[in-house]
Structure 1
Amino acid sequence: MSGIVFAVVLAATLVLVHSAIPGGPGHGTAWLDRAGSRDAARAALAVLPFAGIAFLWFMGAVRSHFGEAEDKFFATVLLGSGLLFAAALFGLAATAGGLLAASGSPRAGAALRVWENGRDSSFTLLSSYGMRMAAVFTACVSTIGRRLGAFPPWLAWLGYLIAVILLFVAPSSAWFELAFPLWVLLVSIHMLATAGGRQRTPRAGGVS
Structure 2
Amino acid sequence: MTSSEPSLTGTYLRTPRAAAFAGIIFSVLLFAVFGLMRLSVPADPLERGAWLAGDTTYVTIAMNLVPFTGVAFLWFVGALRDRLGAREDRFFATVFLGSAFLLLAMLFAAFAVVGALIMAFHAAPEALIQSGTFHFGRSLAYGMVNIYLAKTAAVFMITTSTIAVYTRLTPRWLAIGGYFIAAAIMFGSGYFDGSLLVFPFWVLAVSAAILRDKQAVPSSAGLSQ
TM-score relative to the length of structure 1: 0.88
Correspondence for 1:134 among 144, 148, 153:
153
Give the distance between the partners of 1:112 and 1:52, measured in 2 at CA: 34
Give the distance between the partners of 2:101 and 2:35, measured in 1 at CA: 23
Contact 2:189 2:195 in 1 (8 A): yes
- TM superposition shift of 1:112: 4.3
> What does residue 107 of structure 2 align with?
89
Counterpart residue type for residue 85 of structure 2: G
> What does residue 31 of structure 2 align with?
11
Contact 1:49 1:89 in 2 (8 A): no
Output aligned runs, 1:149-164, within 5 Å. Answer: 149-164=168-183
Give the distance between the partners of 1:199 and 1:142, measured in 2 at CA: 18
Do residues 75 (structure 1) and 111 (structure 2) align?
Answer: no
> Per the alignment, in what secondary structure is the counterpart of residue 92 of structure 2?
helix
> What does residue 66 of structure 2 align with?
48
> Per the alignment, in what secondary structure is the counterpart of residue 171 of structure 1?
coil
> What does residue 206 of structure 1 align with?
none
Distance 1:110 1:82, change over 3 A: same
> What does residue 80 of structure 2 align with?
62
> What does residue 8 of structure 2 align with?
none
Give the distance between the partners of 1:187 and 1:25, measured in 2 at CA: 32
| Percent of aligned pairs sharing the same letter | 36
Distance 1:155 1:74, change over 3 A: same
Do residues 30 (structure 1) and 75 (structure 2) align?
Answer: no
- TM superposition shift of 1:119: 1.0
* Residues 20-41 of structure 1, C-alpha deviations (whole Å, 9 max, x = no match): 1113255312212222xx1111
Contact 1:4 1:185 in 2 (8 A): yes
- TM superposition shift of 1:96: 1.0
> Per the alignment, in what secondary structure is the counterpart of residue 104 of structure 2?
helix
- TM superposition shift of 1:75: 1.4
- TM superposition shift of 1:86: 0.8
* Residues 146-168 of structure 1, C-alpha deviations (whole Å, 9 max, x = no match): 11122222101111011111211
Distance 1:86 1:25, change over 3 A: closer
Contact 1:102 1:111 in 2 (8 A): no
TM-score relative to the length of structure 2: 0.82
* Residues 38-65 of structure 1, C-alpha deviations (whole Å, 9 max, x = no match): 1111111110111111111111111111
| Structure with more helix by fraction | 1
Contact 2:83 2:217 in 1 (8 A): no
Give the distance between the partners of 1:54 and 1:127, measured in 2 at CA: 21
> What does residue 22 of structure 2 align with?
2
